[in-house]
């Protein structure tokens, strides 16, 4: 079932329980020209997560599109920063400061060019690994102690291929299918991460 089909089944929005205690941030670039590009894997994944929760990420706040919902009984704010990838941290820090959410309760979904499409990698913390969106968040929240789920989009075809051109290039139909096939796993992994069960999440869903 496609994301559009899931959205069509949404008749009412899920009611959040209390103020958000966690942020789940899908990284990408706003605008039609970037839709379904490799760099927007985080946007695609969080849209699928929102659909499973019965909400749309469409409220403009914190330089982002947002939605409040619950995941595994935890009140969360879903975010799609609209600042462009390199400035993602400015949006994340606004929401984190407003809700007083520490870094360890900020889960980031983003693309990973070191993994094949359809592979995911869950980490409790770590460096940016060359990802400008993660680098921006690290700079704005004051450290790298936040969990992330990195979504494989495939590596450059040759070392000489321009990285910016690669990550802003469109996903092939085959790669989109491989990535979308993992959306249910990403949602399940996110729920485990919110519960603090990183080991189980990594054991079940890494790779």
Q: Around Cβ 93, how many Cβ atoms within 10 Å?
A: 20
CA angle 165, 144, 91 (to 5 degrees): 65
**Are the C-beta atoms of 52 and 5 separated by less than 8 Å?**
no
In 3D space, the residue among 112, 119, 88, 100 whose CA is nearest the CA of residue 189 turns out to be: 119
How far is the C-alpha of 102 from the C-alpha of 46, rounded, in Å?
20
Q: Which of 39, 105, 121, 182 is catalytic?
A: 39
Quick one: tokens of 198? Answer: 């990183």
Q: What is the crossing angle of helices 41-53 and 173-180, to 10°?
A: 40
- Which residues, 6+ apart, have CB-to-CB distance to 104 below 8 Å? 145, 146, 147
Q: Is 39 a catalytic site residue?
A: yes
In the three-class reduction of DSSP (H, G, I as helix; E, B as strand; rest coil), residue 110 is classed as strand
Query: What is the per-residue DSSP string for 133-198?
Result: HHHHHHHHHTSS-S-EEEEE----SSTTS-HHHHHTSBPPHHHHHHHHTTHHHHHHHHHHHHTT-H
Q: Enumerate the active-site residues.
A: 39
């Amino acid at each position: 079932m496609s994301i559009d089909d899931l959205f069509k089944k949404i008749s009412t929005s899920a009611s959040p329980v209390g103020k958000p205690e966690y942020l789940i941030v899908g990284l990408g670039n706003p605008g039609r020209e970037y839709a379904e590009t490799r760099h927007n894997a985080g946007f695609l994944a969080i849209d699928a997560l929102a659909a499973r929760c019965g909400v749309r990420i469409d409220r403009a706040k914190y330089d982002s599109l947002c939605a409040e919902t619950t995941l595994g009984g935890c009140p969360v704010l879903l975010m799609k920063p609209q600042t462009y990838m390199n400035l993602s941290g400015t949006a994340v820090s606004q929401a984190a400061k407003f809700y007083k959410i520490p870094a360890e309760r900020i889960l980031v979904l983003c693309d990973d060019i070191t993994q094949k499409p359809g592979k995911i990698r869950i980490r409790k913390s770590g460096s940016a690994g060359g990802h400008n969106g993660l680098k921006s968040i690290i700079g704005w929240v004051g450290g790298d102690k936040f969990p992330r789920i990195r979504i494989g989009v495939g590596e450059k075809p040759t070392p000489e291929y321009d990285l910016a051109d690669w990550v802003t290039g469109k996903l092939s139909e085959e790669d989109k299918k491989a990535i979308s096939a993992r959306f249910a796993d990403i949602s399940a992994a996110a729920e485990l991460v919110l519960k603090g069960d990183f080991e189980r999440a990594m054991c079940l869903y890494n790779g």
